[in-house]
Amino acid sequence: MKVLITGCSHNSFWYSSKVGELFDIENTVEHGVCVHTDEDVDNGFIKRKDCHVIQSIGTVLTEWEKDGGELEFWGKSSKAWLKVDDRDEFRLNSILRIKPVEQPQYRPYTFEEAKEVFTKNAWMIDKQTGELVMVFRIKEGGVFLASCPKTEYDLLLSNFNHLDGTPCGVKIN
C-alpha cells in the first residue's frame, strides 16, 4: 500500500521535509501509519492526519459516482489538495480523493448559554453507557446531574450528548 505525505503536524517528525513524497507501507496501526518498507526510514510513524492512503483512480471515481462529494487532486507543485473542475483532465498517475466532510467542532457551554439550553429537568445521554441522565441544577461552574455531583462544562461536552445526539456544547464551525 502507498501513502502520500500531505503535511506534517510537528516540525521534529522525520517526514517534515517529505511533504508530497510517496512511501510504501506494510501495515497501519491505531495511532498512525507505520512505515517499514523503506530502508532510509528509521521505522518511525506517519500520523494518519499527515498522510493520504492512495487508491486507484477507478476506485475513487466509482466511490464518487455512488456517494457524491467534492473531488480533489493532489497538486504536485503546490503540494496541496485542489478542487477538480469540469475542465481538468486526469492522468493515470494523478492522485485523487473525495474531499473529507469536515466534522463539526464544539466548545463547552458558558453558564449563560447553559441557562438557555437546559430547562428544568433536562435530559442528556451518557456517551459511555447510553443511559439517560437528568440535569437538575445549573451553576456557574457546571451542572448537577442526578447520577453524579457537579459536572463541569468541559466534561459535559466530552461525556454527554443531547437527546438528538448532538454534543453538549456550542457548535463553532
| Backbone angles phi and psi of 39, in degrees to 5 | -65, -20
pLDDT grade for 37, boundaries at 50, 70 and 90? very low
Statement: residue 106 has pLDDT above 70: yes
170/173 Cα distance (integer angstroms): 9
**Domain end (from 98, 132, 163):** 98
Statement: residue 67 has pLDDT above 50: yes
Q: Which of 158, 157, 151, 155 shows the shortest CA–CA distance to 137? A: 151
Residue 29: per-residue pLDDT: 62
Mark whether 115 and 94 lie in a shared domain: no
Return the sign of the alpha-carbon dihedral for residues 155, 158, 159, 160: positive
| Domain carrying residue 147 | 106-171
Residue 36: per-residue pLDDT: 44
Residue 93: per-residue pLDDT: 77
Share of the chain above pLDDT 90, in %: 35
* Residues 6 or more apart whose Cβ sits within 8 Å of residue 36: 25, 26, 27, 43
Mark whether 61 and 146 lie in a shared domain: no
Q: Mean pLDDT in the chain?
A: 84
Encode pLDDT of 77-100 as tens digits. Answer: 899 998 887 666 667 778 999 998
> Global pTM?
0.58
Mark whether 63 and 87 lie in a shared domain: yes
Beta strand extents in the chain (DSSP E only): 2-5, 22-24, 27-29, 32-34, 45-46, 51-53, 71-75, 80-83, 96-98, 106-107, 122-126, 132-139, 142-145, 148-151, 160-161, 170-171
* 119 vs 162, more confident: 162
Share of the chain above pLDDT 70, in %: 86
Mark whether 149 and 124 lie in a shared domain: yes
Residue 88: per-residue pLDDT: 64
Mark whether 77 and 121 lie in a shared domain: no
Residue 51: per-residue pLDDT: 87
* 43 vs 108, more confident: 108
Mean pLDDT of 61-88: 87
Domain count, the chain: 2
